[in-house]
Amino acid sequence: MKQLQARLVLLSATMLVLSAMLLSWFALRHFSQGLPPEMARTVTTVSYSASLVMEKAYDNGVPFDAMVGVEEFLNLVRKDNPTIVYMLVSDQSDHILYRSGFGALAQQPDPAGPIARGRTEVVTEKSGAYFDTGVPLVFRHQRVGTLHLGQQASFVEQQMKEVAYDVVTTLVVASLIALELMRFVLTFAIATPADVMRAFLARARQGDFSHYLPHDHLGGIGQLSAHFNRIVSEINGRCQRLFDAADGAGAGLSERVRARLAAYCLHGAGERATLYASALAHIRWPFFLLIFADSLSLSFFPVYVGQFYSPDMGISKSVVIGLPISIFMFTWALSMPWAGMWSDRVGHRKAFVVGAAVTTAGLILTAFSQSLYDLLLWRSLTALGYGLVFITAQGYVANNTPPAQRTRGMAVFLSSFFAGSLSGSSIGGILSDRLGYDHTILLSALLSATSAVFVLRFLSANPQAAGAAARRSLTFADFKRLLRNKKFAAITFLAAVPAKIALTGFLYYSVPLYLKLQGNNQSTTGRVMMAYGLAIIVLSPFAAKLADRIGRLRWFVTVGGYAASMAMLIIYYYDNTLGLLVSITLLGIAHAIGVSPQLALINDFCQEVVQEVGSGTATGIFRLIERLGNVLGPVIAALLISRFGFRGAFLGIGLLSFVCATCFTALFFWFDRRPTRVAVRAG
C-alpha cells in the first residue's frame, strides 16, 4: 500500500509540476507580448490631454510650427508622469518642432521610424534603450504631426522581472498547496479506508460483526463499505431472528451462545458502532489552510496598521505599529492553556470548527476596522481562534501518533505550519498589490471558513476522542518548580525566547517596514519573507535527523543562536534588499538547526522536574513562556527603531541573540563540569 501511495504521489506531483511550469511559461509569454500595447494605452491617455491643449491653440489660429510655451507645457506633463522620460512633437515630415527631456538623454533614440513608414495609428516600438510611442496629432480632421512619448526599456524589463518573480512564487506556492491537498485526498480515499477495512476484516475473521465501516466520502476504496455494512446488518438481523425464534419455541440458547452473540453480532435499535481510523493528513490540510489564510497579511500587516496612526496618540509610530502584533501574540499565548483543556474535553472536531469560526469572525472584523482600538480588539479575537486551532491540531497529532513516532509526528505538524505560513505570506503580498489590503484580509477570512467546512465534512466526530483524557490545569506551583530548575530556565530564557524575539521583532515586524522604506512593493516583500519558510521546510527534517543521530543537542541550540545573531549582523553591514534576503535565509537556517532540539533538550536535561510536574505540563509551560518572546519582539524592535533606526534595531537584536547564545553555552559548559568538581572534592 505504501508503494502504491508513493507511486501515485510521484505521478501526480510530476504531472502537477509539468502543467504548472507550462502554464507559467504561457503566462510569461502572454505578458511579454501584451506589455507594449498596454504601455501604449497608458501613455496614449497622457498624449490625448497634451494634444488637446495644442489643438485649442491651433483652432484659435496659432500655426502648428509657431506655438509658444509648448516645451514648458511638456515639461509639466512629464513632471506629473515620471515614467515618461521624453516627449517630442514633430511635423508631417518628421522634423522635430518641440522637445522635452530629449536633449538630456545620453543615448538619443530615433523616434521617426513609425511615421517614416506612413503609419497613422498609435505605434509603440523599441528604439535603443527606450520604448517610443508615436501618437498622430489630428487637428480639424487633418494630421498635422506626431507626438512621441518615450519610456525606458529598463522599466519594461523590471516589470517583466516582477511578473516572472510573481509567476515563480505562485508556482512554488501552488505546488505546496496542491501537494498538501493531494496528500489529504490520497489518505482519505486510499490509505485510511484500507486501514479501517483491514481492522474490520480482522474482526470478521474472529467472528466479531459488532462494528460497521464509516461512510465513504470521496469514492475511493471506501466504496466497498456499503457492501460490507449490508452484510453486517444482515448478520445482525439473522442473529436477532435466531434469538426471537429460540425464545418463541421455548428451547432457548445456552448462556455462552447468548453472550457471544450479544457481544459480537447484536446491537440495539438505533445503535451503530462504527470503526474509526485517524491519520495526520485528516487535520493537516485544514490546519495548513487556516495558517495559510491568517498568513496572507504577514507581508503587509505593519504597513496596514500604519494607516491608523495619528500623532495625537502621544507615542511613536513604530511603537503603535508593533502593538497589534504583540497583542496578537500575547492573546495567543494566554489562550493556549485553556484552549488545550477545552479541546480535550469537547473533542478535536468541535474545537477546530469553533476555533476556525472565531478566526474567521476576527479576520472579517479586522478588514472593517475603523481605528487602532478596533484593530487591537479584533486581532485579539482572531488570536483566540488561532490559538484554539493551533493547540487542537497539535493535540490531534499527539493523540494519533504512536509514542515511538511522536517526534516525527510533531515534525509533520511544524512542516505544515511553516508551509502554510510561507505560502500565505508570499501570495498575500502579490494579492495586496492587486486587490488591496482589506480585500486580501477578507479573502483570508473566506479561506479560514473553508478550513472549518473541511473539518465538518471530513474529520470524524469520534465519540471516544472527546473527554478521553482531560488535561489537568496549570498551577502556580508547576511554574515555580520548573523555573527553579536552572537548566530549564537557561533553555527557555536564553534559547527559546530570543529565537521568538528574532522571529517576530525582525521578520514579522521590521522586514515589511524596512522593505517598504527601500521602495519595494508588497509582492517583493512576500517573496523575500518566504525565504525563511523555505529554509525551515528544507533543512528542519535533516537537522532533526542529524541531531538525533549525533546527540549533543545543546550544541545545535548554540549554533542556531550564533547563526541568528550573524543573520542580524549581515543586514547591518549590507543595508539593502539583497542583504535582507540573505539575513532572512540565514535566520531560517538558524531556527531550523536550533529551535527543534529545544524541547528534546528539556526532556533530556530536566528529567527529574519534568517527571515531577508531568511531561504535558512541562511542555505547556515551556511553550507559554516561549510565546513571551513573540510578544516582546515587536515591542523591542519598535523601541530600537524609534531610537536608533532600522540598522540600529537589527544590530540590537543581533547583539541580544549573541549574548543569550554565549550565556547559554557558558552555563551548560558549567553544568557539565560541575558534577566532576564535586566528585574530586569528595574524594
pLDDT: which is higher, 496 or 336: 496
Q: Which is nearest to 211 in space by CA: 222, 223, 197?
A: 197
pLDDT for the residue numbered 466 = 47
Over the stretch 383-436, which tens digit does the pLDDT of each residue have?
A: 999 989 988 887 787 777 665 555 556 666 777 888 888 888 888 888 888 888
Over the stretch 143-183, which tens digit does the pLDDT of each residue have?
A: 888 888 888 777 667 777 777 777 777 777 877 787 777 77
pLDDT for the residue numbered 115 = 43
Has residue 37 got a pLDDT over 80? Answer: no
Q: Which is nearest to 431 in space by CA: 527, 362, 509?
A: 527
Q: Which is nearest to 188 in space by CA: 455, 417, 10?
A: 455
CATH superfamily of the domain spanning 2-158: PAS domain (3.30.450.20)
Given a contact cutoff of 8 angstroms between Cβ atoms, the answer to whether 345 and 392 are in contact is no
Over the stretch 187-237, which tens digit does the pLDDT of each residue have?
A: 777 767 777 777 777 777 777 776 777 666 555 555 677 777 777 777 777
Residue boundaries of the structural domains of the chain: 2-158, 281-472, 474-675
The dihedral region occupied by 89, where left means phi > 0, alpha psi between -120 and 50, and beta the remainder, is beta
The residues with which 124 forms a beta bridge, in sequence order, are: 133
Residues 6+ apart with CB under 8 A from 292: 177, 420, 421, 423, 424, 447
Classify domain 474-675 by CATH number.
Answer: 1.20.1250.20
pLDDT: which is higher, 645 or 537: 645
Q: What is the pLDDT of the chain when averaged over all its residues?
A: 79
pTM of the predicted protein model: 0.71
Distance CA 483, CA 327 (A): 25
Buried b (16+ CB within 10 A) or exposed e, 261-300: beebbbbeeeeeeebebbbbbbbbbbbbbbbbbbbbbbbb
Has residue 51 got a pLDDT over 80? Answer: yes
Has residue 618 got a pLDDT over 90? Answer: no
**Burial group, residue 325, by CB count within 10 angstroms (0-12, 13-18, 19+):** buried
Classify domain 281-472 by CATH number.
Answer: 1.20.1250.20
Distance CA 667, CA 455 (A): 46
Buried b (16+ CB within 10 A) or exposed e, 350-383: bbbbbbbbbbbbbbbbbbebeebeebbbbbbbbb
Given a contact cutoff of 8 angstroms between Cβ atoms, the answer to whether 90 and 71 are in contact is no
pLDDT for the residue numbered 678 = 40
Has residue 472 got a pLDDT over 90? Answer: no
Has residue 116 got a pLDDT over 70? Answer: no
Q: Do domains 281-472 and 474-675 have the same CATH topology?
A: yes
H/E stretch holding 131 reads strand 130-139
Single-letter code of the amino acid located at 172: V
Q: Once rounded to an integer, what is the mean pLDDT over residues 8-32?
A: 72
H/E stretch holding 76 reads helix 70-80
Q: Which of 310-314, 423-427, 444-448, 594-598 has the highest mean pLDDT?
A: 444-448
Given a contact cutoff of 8 angstroms between Cβ atoms, the answer to whether 233 and 210 are in contact is no
Given a contact cutoff of 8 angstroms between Cβ atoms, the answer to whether 157 and 138 are in contact is no
Instruction: Report the percent of the chain where pLDDT is more than 70.
Output: 78
For residue 619, count other CB atoms closer than 10 A to its CB. Answer: 17
